[in-house]
A = this chain, B = another copy of it.
Amino acid sequence: MSRQFLAEGLELSGGDYGVVAVVAVVALAALAVGYVLLREVLAAGQGTPKMQEIAKAVQEGAAAYLKRQRNTLSIFGVVVFLLLFALPAEGWSERIGRSLFFLVGAAFSFTIGYLGMWLATQANLRVAAASREVGGRETAMRVAFRTGGVVGMITVGLGLFGAAIVVLAYAGQAPKVLEGFGFGAALIAMFMRVGGGIFTKAADVGADLVGKVEQNIPEDDPRNAATIADNVGDNVGDCAGMAADLFESYAVTLVAALILGSTAFGKDGLLFPLIVPGIGVITAVIGVYITKARSGENGLVTINRSFYISAIISAVLCAVAAFLFLPSSFAGFGADHASIGGNPAVIATVSVIIGIVLAAVILRLTGYFTGTEHGPVKNVGKTSETGPATVILSGISVGFESAVYTAVVIAAAVFGAYLLGGMVALFAVALAGTGLLTTVGVIVAMDTFGPVSDNAQGIAEMSGEVDEKAAQILTELDAVGNTTKAITKGIAIATAVLAATALFGSYSDSIAKALATAGQAAASLPATFLNNIVSANTLVGVIIGAAVVFMFSGLAVNAVSRAAGAVVFEVRRQFRDIPGIMEGTTRPEYGKVVDIVTRDSLRELATPGLLAVFAPIAVGFGLGTGALAGYLAGAIATGTLMAIFLANSGGAWDNAKKLVEDGNHGGKGSEAHAATVIGDTVGDPFKDTAGPAINPLIKVMNLVSVLIAPAVVQFSIGPDASLGVRIAIALVAVAVIVVAVVVSKRRSTVIAEPASEKAEPAKAG
């Protein structure tokens, strides 16, 4: 970090402002393309009145959930806004900008989630309708993928636009303001991931336990009171949560690159990381428009082709941009950089390509481990012949193994960029992150494809107005969606590692600056401030960081179980108390179940959310910055493995079930099928609740640490040093976590009670 304070005297020239303004215009153009795609989606046919009626119920439920979530999160947002305002800052401009753009980031994150959800509820109906027409497969696939295109364009458009505006408005102070922007995006995305994840899986598991297991009626049967809630869940979890999450990945990675870039290269470091994702916008548009289903070709092949083509175009354009905008030696950056060897344009190009290649490798790895045509899922399917226990064990093995390979590949990318970068190693890592970003537009489009197809299938099933051929089309699209969803999660977690590694530099920088302010040299720090990993203090931090990931995962899984329990009791009650449901003569009260899941999932997201924000505060103030650095490393490492393990185990179980349903190992209704249904149910909260929420979790904890680091130093050294204040803050943070955990544990007892109410003992699968 020899060049750590360079960014301060940073001034942009008129030409630089011009480049940033062009990037901002590109970002707005992305939004315009999104609008054009949106018009196209909305223009598609809307099917029969019955289908529309069902879609409307889902739309209303989803909108009601997000409205209540917005109210809950607003309170949280205001509190964090004030806390952020109170943290140390250099001058009022930085203080106000940081808090203000925290709100902007949060608002963008929420808006994208909301739009993603709204759009999906519109598209579901249209995809279901398209499947009934002549040439339905191609139309359905186009509508689904274009819907994803809209979300993708909004994600990259708003992310890039926000960052460009901050750079235009704040120039040299941009890094600090960007921290606020990224933090707002990550925090809201985490809540939307957790809340949506609990909603979708509580409704899904609850619906299955009573419907499929107890009453023996098929999935999405309209007699099941939880069906609408289940379909609402697909939209608020897989669409809203996912869109917010990918926006956050985009924003935070970009923020990390800009912060590191300005530190390493001054203004060129602010410009180039904006140009790369700008190129990504262009290639994403190409990727969305070239995706055309060919008859007889698996949908995944079509989508993968678009991905590869746009990735290659990105790589070429980025190389051109690097040689146009960056000098060919470090001497070009002035006397300060003259001693650094290597060619900045080459380093930047290779770093960006590392990021793009990383995305492609994760795509292939995830496809291999969760796709129905490869060994791992086939093997899980085979173990269904010896019962559910072997299905669970083989799925867990697949998850562990794939997590290892993916983590090692991510680590190799980080290490490669790091070696390549030499003196500007962390910036090279961040540039690899921006390389990854160029693929985000297409990735979002791929991911949205999944829940939209899933929901279209639900609408088709419930309306009963779709023939067998159309149903077949929708089932195929749904299976493709399972794999694209798993791929997105892998890529999202890769952005988390790259961004977090880069933010580590920002963390050191914050501490060094704060020490300089306190007039203290790093060498005279108390022992608990050492970052040396070979120290008990740092090691303790690593252990606690790993522990928080386990805690967070456990809380999320538990929250699903609890909320699903409440759904089970309500659906049972309706079957018992409302006559005529089973005969199909009376409509169940769908709204009641939606209300219950809405209430429970919003209540349940508090504990993991508080844990994410307050654990780094407790460690930082309580144990010092060395332990906090260890904490981050532990959380990143364990979080990466856990996130992929959970996502891929879940994906493998889901597709193993599909394999059996396709007639293997005895087919639907066999004991083998029952075994894979159990695997799938276990995998549901793994892959859709706990797993994907770990990505924003890592970023929230990183950004909290970067933001509080100066305050920790301030209370530890120099005139304001006070062990009492530090311990008081740490104790408050610990108390918040303990109270949150205890409250959520008490809830478990309350909800479990009505079990005695049920008419007869539940039957196991």
Contacts and interface: CB of A to CB of B under 8 A. Distances in A.
A309 interface: no
A397 B686 CA distance: 11
Interface in A510-551: 527, 531-540, 542-548, 550-551
A394 interface: yes
B761 A666 contact: yes
A629 B387 contact: no
A384 interface: yes
A442 to B, nearest CB: 26
A14 to B, nearest CB: 35
B765 A633 contact: no
A392 B508 contact: no
Contact of A764 (B408, B501, B641, B674): B674
A372 B551 CA distance: 23
A121 interface: no
Contacts of A553: 400
Contacts of A645: 550
Given A415-B537, A536-B426, A762 B385 contact: yes
B536 A404 contact: no
A543 B410 contact: yes
A645 to B, nearest CB: 7
Given A418-B536, A623-B415, A547 B408 contact: yes
Given A401-B554, A536-B426, A557-B393, A634 B542 contact: yes
Interface stretch (A30-38, A262-270, A298-306, A677-685): A677-685
A434 interface: no
Nearest to A399: B554
A392 B682 contact: yes
A200 interface: no
Interface in A403-459: 403-404, 407-408, 410-411, 414-415, 417-418, 425-426, 429
Given A408-B544, A418-B540, A561-B390, A533 B633 contact: yes
A213 B386 CA distance: 9
Contacts of A209: 386-387, 390
Contact of A539 (B382, B387, B633, B685): B633
Interface in A661-685: 666, 671-672, 674-675, 678, 681-682, 685
Contacts of A565: 386
Interface in A550-579: 550-551, 553-554, 557-558, 560-561, 565, 568
Contacts of A542: 533, 542, 633-634, 636-637
A447 to B, nearest CB: 24
Interface string A494-513: 00010001001101100000
Interface string A100-129: 000000000000000000000000000000
A396 interface: yes
A233 interface: no
A383 interface: yes
A217 B337 CA distance: 78
Given A393-B682, A543-B637, A536 B415 contact: yes
A632 to B, nearest CB: 8
A626 B419 CA distance: 14
Contact of A387 (B403, B418, B765): B765
Interface in A747-765: 748, 752, 755, 761-765
B764 A213 contact: no
A557 B636 contact: no
A641 B546 contact: yes
A641 B508 contact: no
A277 interface: no
Interface string A725-765: 00000000000000000000000100010010000011111
Among A415, A527, A675: residue with most chain B CB under 10 A? A415
A630 interface: yes
**Interface majority SS (helix, strand, loop, mixed), chain A:** helix
B508 A213 contact: no
A397 B561 contact: yes
A547 B404 contact: yes
A548 B678 CA distance: 29
A548 B536 CA distance: 22
A388 interface: yes
Given A411-B540, A551-B404, A388 B385 contact: no
Contacts of A213: 386-387
Contacts of A568: 386
A693 to B, nearest CB: 14
A545 B410 CA distance: 13
A205 B388 CA distance: 13
A122 B660 CA distance: 48
A507 B533 CA distance: 11
A534 B389 contact: no
Interface string A138-178: 00000000000000000000000000000000000000000
Contacts of A131: none
A598 interface: no
A538 B533 contact: yes
Interface in A342-380: 379
A637 B546 contact: yes
A75 B553 CA distance: 43
A411 B627 CA distance: 11
A640 interface: yes
Given A407-B546, A546-B638, A671 B397 contact: no
Interface string A571-612: 000000000000000000000000000000000000000000
Nearest to A639: B546
A530 to B, nearest CB: 9
23 contacts: A379-B748, A387-B762, A388-B764, A393-B560, A393-B685, A394-B561, A396-B557, A397-B557, A407-B543, A407-B547, A407-B550, A411-B544, A505-B534, A507-B534, A531-B532, A533-B626, A534-B629, A539-B637, A543-B636, A543-B640, A630-B633, A637-B637, A678-B678
Given A390-B681, A539-B633, 18 more contacts: A205-B389, A209-B387, A385-B761, A393-B560, A393-B561, A397-B558, A400-B553, A403-B550, A404-B550, A504-B534, A504-B539, A539-B636, A539-B637, A542-B633, A547-B637, A634-B638, A637-B637, A666-B761
Which 8 A/B pairs are nearest by Cβ-Cβ distance?
Answer: A400-B554, A389-B681, A387-B764, A671-B764, A418-B536, A546-B637, A533-B533, A387-B765
